Amino acid sequence: MKKGMTILSSVILLSMLLAACNTDTKDVPETPATIPDEQLDQTSPEDTNADDQQPTSTPEEKQPEENTDNTTKSLITYTSKGQKVQQDVQTSTSEQSNYSIQHTADFTLVAEEPNKDLLYLNADDTISMGIEVLNKADVSFEDVKTNAIETMAAIAPEGKYGELDLTNSLKDQKDLLQFVGYETVLEAEKVQIIVLEHEGKIIKLTIYDTPKADLSDAFLQMGLTIQ
């Protein structure tokens, strides 16, 4: 009997222990881990650079600025020693006659005589062009042509001179009404006299050149700019 009580007591005690164990092993809801405040203020490098890593618009490629200067440089083209030459020109105004002329920086315009100017080469003033701008109310083309012939006959050796063929040089000069030119050679010097008739004026050009310089066409082309 005593032995049976002992066994019963053991069974009851074991049941109580099992009940207690079941109570301790019940599922307990997990609670989130608490993050310290100072860690909340810290962000990862990835987060910090997130804005920097956002795609940004690339600056537009700078286009070259448009040239707003509508002015154009004046040029003169002439033939010298069988070659085409093109140079910038500047404008000079006669001190005594009512006209202007465009010429390269290698030349200078000065007054020579009443109603006559001289455009000369700075490097050698013997290479030059006399300029007379005449009013058609005062003189006719034929008068100036006759004067040119008389001058050529007077300075040419034995009165020998020739007429210039200016057709090719003046073919684009639409404002010319008529023209004529003469030439003679004095040893190493060449002299040309050219008469040009425009609507309101007559221009007489007397060119002193040398074969070495060969600037006769340059003088003519500058003379055509007279206005």
Domain map of the chain by residue range? 75-223
Query: Of the candidates 221, 160, 159, which has an alpha carbon nearest to the alpha carbon of residue 196?
Result: 221
The answer on pLDDT for 16 being more than 60 is no
Query: Of the candidates 210, 206, 156, which has an alpha carbon nearest to the alpha carbon of residue 184?
Result: 156
What whole-number distance in Å separates Cα of residue 128 and Cα of residue 106?
A: 11
User: 91-143: per-residue pLDDT in tens?
Assistant: 999 999 989 999 999 999 999 999 999 999 999 999 999 999 999 999 999 99
User: 48-85: per-residue pLDDT in tens?
Assistant: 444 445 544 444 444 444 433 333 469 999 999 999 99
Tokens found for residue 141: 């083309």
Calculate the CA 155 to chain-centre distance.
47
Q: How far is CA 191 from CA 6, 24, 148, 188, 216, in A?
A: 159, 133, 12, 10, 9
Q: Looking at domain 75-223, does it have CATH number 3.40.1000?
A: yes
Q: Which pTM value belongs to this model?
A: 0.68
Q: Which tops the pLDDT comparison, 20 or 153? A: 153
